[in-house]
Amino acid sequence: MKLKNRIVLPAMAREKSIDGRPTKELFSYYENMAKSGFSLIILEHAYVLKSGKASPNQMAIDEDYDKDILSEIAKTIKKYDCKALMQISHAGNKAKIEGDVFGPSAKENVKELSKAEIKTIVDAFAKAARRVKEMGFDGVEVHSAHGYLLNQFYSPLENKREDEYGESLENRLRIHKEIIEAIRKEIGDFQIFLRLGAADYTEGGNTEEDGVKAAKLLESYGIDAIDISGGVLGFLKHPEVEYGYFSSVSKKIKDSVKIPVMMTGGVKNLKQCEDLLNRGVCDLVGVGRQSLKNPAWLLEDMKKE
């Protein structure tokens, strides 16, 4: 996938959907961002099953009912020489739904997923990816960060299973492998990004070294790019860095894999983006909250140079 620059608008939940359907306000948001100079826009996470809905106004990709408006969003983004990806997710034990909530392991008010239920989720990710392709997007991003279901499986803080989906790193990534393989089988040659909460930065969680090992495994499973962010604690700002919060683990991963590495975290201007790229921290820089404050920041910074 050829990009006009290396600055990306990362997925950020805008909470502008009703019953899973994007509103006109959300459409306008993406059109405005597409005009702002980004090379790639990753749409906010959409749930692949209602059991994995993270919030009342989250966008959906569990059915085809929103096909027309999502297709129009993809078409509009691409009109401005910008690529469009859609992020797909399942919230796991963070789901905000009526009824039972499921996760990799049982705990208070959470039921453990059976192997049959895991298979249903794997299949749902694959079908969602097919919809993303049919709607005209350039690729799909599988969400395994910020404490959602796949991140829960990956993190030993949440995954206490003793079967083939637990204990070892390879087992904790087994559902990722099955999802990636299922997506490939469903849609063939299509860009697959994966957003990874590489390290947990808390005792008993995944370390940066675990993140490097995980990235290498995920690369071997067939993803096209890896997007580094926070783990089960979400967006964790590291006090020792002003920007590029996940720079340490991102650079270690970039030095260990051949696929492109993207990173997001506290970046506010083009100078900071260029610094991260020049230091080999990542190949693509995601700029989130600054873009919400001022969508025109990139075009303004480019004019200054």
Residue 65 confidence (pLDDT) above 90:
no
C-alpha distance across the termini of the chain, in Å: 26
Which CATH number covers residue 221? 3.20.20.70
- Residue 246 resides in a domain: yes
- Residue 58 resides in a domain: yes
Alpha-carbon separation of residue 142 from 109, 139, 237, 263 (angstroms): 26, 10, 23, 15
Contacts 24+ apart (CB under 8 A), 211-216: 211/249, 211/252, 211/253, 212/249, 212/252, 212/253, 212/256, 213/169, 214/154, 214/169, 214/173, 215/253, 215/256, 215/257, 215/261, 216/256, 216/257
- Residue 1 resides in a domain: no
What pLDDT does residue 194 have? 98
What pLDDT does residue 80 have? 97
pLDDT tens, 218-274? 999 999 999 999 998 876 667 678 899 999 999 999 999 999 999 999 999 999 999
Q: Note down the domain range covering 280.
A: 8-304
Amino acid in the structure at residue 1:
M
What is the rounded CA–CA span in Å between residue 298 and residue 108? 45
Q: Over range 144-173, report the average pLDDT.
A: 98
pLDDT higher at 127 or 305: 127
What pLDDT does residue 304 have? 86
- Residue 2 resides in a domain: no
* Interstrand relation of 17-18 and 139-144 (parallel, antiparallel or unpaired): unpaired
- Residue 219 resides in a domain: yes
- Residue 198 resides in a domain: yes
- Overall number of domains in the chain: 1
Give the percent of the chain with pLDDT over 70. 98
Model confidence at 123, in pLDDT bands (50, 70, 90)? very high
- Residue 3 resides in a domain: no
